[in-house]
Structure 1
């Protein structure tokens, strides 16, 4: 979902660039301090449905957050797709699939400037918050520190899915 003209103008005035993309979900923010995992995968080769793939991305995020010290990280049933810590979404998931090939994926807030989310309704979820690893762990967590643990969790989850 694209922002209305008024909101789009307001965001541009604040220095945001806007891009319309084909993926599930509504308006979101991507910027510095986020780990973006844009996954290209042939679901037929993995014998995996789209919902299973989205669930797999959620599992990667949950395992990663727990590994980094957030045992309360969890996923929730649709429409609350993503990874949550309490009432704050720490990772958003948006996927496009065409001819069984996925694109887009997961955006994990590491040390993201969360103020950007105050100007939108993130993922179209009224009344829900957004958080980051840095906020939850009460220390600066740069993306570079999350890359290796993310890759490990991703490999573990891919290995655990049926082939």
Structure 2
């Protein structure tokens, strides 16, 4: 029996750009023949966004009036095909989009989400936050405060969207929404928990190492 090949994932450091640019990059990289999973090229996009509120496929309690209210704050607003409710992305937050063909890893979305959660939890622990964990609510939590939002999409075993890990994010942006539709809970960041400034670049390095470990893959940097 042939041993399964170790998947290769190419890191794409996309820098800081608008949310629409991130979506276009995601579409460009995921636009491959899903049936040819052996030759599918896997990517991990690392980026920061300009201030933006996004809603997933569950649009509960958010109307056009709410959209206009949020836009007046100086943020963009997008409706997407990811899972989950409303969240915020902005400067100081690591937004990571894994573009993977799960047949090269494990062909189950439940496994994928659980492994993504373990990757974020291990990232937090390696950075000095051992209490980061999952709960019955989506995302990664430190006590009653969410430190990382998770909203993914899968089609024909190809994953898009991903996570938003608060590093040194201005958490006041979250005061204008009920993050991910969860009442009575708050948000936090790596900087807030560690009482020092944690930049996105620092967190990204740890996240990539943990990603390689939990997804059991090889990592290479994209040549520009």
Q: TM-score range by the shorter chain?
A: over 0.9
Output the CA distance in 2 between the equivalents of 1:13 and 1:66: 37
Structure 1: stretches of 5+ with no match in the other structure: none
Q: Is the 8 A contact 2:152 2:162 kept in 1?
A: yes
**Which of structures 1 and 2 has the bigger CA Rg?**
2
Output the CA distance in 2 between the equivalents of 1:127 and 1:148: 32
Equivalent residue pairs, number: 158
The ranges of structure 1 where at least 4 consecutive aligned residues each deviate by more than 2 angstroms after the TM superposition are none
1:84 is aligned to: 141
**Aligned to 1:97, what secondary structure does the other structure show?**
strand
Output the CA distance in 2 between the equivalents of 1:6 and 1:115: 21
Output the CA distance in 2 between the equivalents of 1:12 and 1:82: 25
2:42 is aligned to: none
Structure 2: stretches of 5+ with no match in the other structure: 1-57, 218-224
> Among 5, 12, 21, which residue is 2:80 paired with?
21
> Among 84, 100, 104, which residue is 1:41 paired with?
100
1:126 aligns with 2:183: yes
Q: How does 1:1-163 map to 2 (within 5 A)?
A: 1-2=58-59, 3-77=62-136, 80-159=137-216
Output the CA distance in 2 between the equivalents of 1:156 and 1:61: 12
Q: Is the 8 A contact 2:106 2:112 kept in 1?
A: no
TM-score norm. by structure 2 comes to 0.68
Output the CA distance in 2 between the equivalents of 1:91 and 1:157: 17
**Aligned to 1:36, what secondary structure does the other structure show?**
strand
Q: Relative contact order (alpha carbons < 8 A, sep ≥ 6): 1 or 2 greater?
A: 1
- Which structure has greater strand proportion? 2
TM-score norm. by structure 1 comes to 0.93
Instruction: Return the offset for 1:21.
Output: 0.9
Output the CA distance in 2 between the equivalents of 1:97 and 1:122: 22
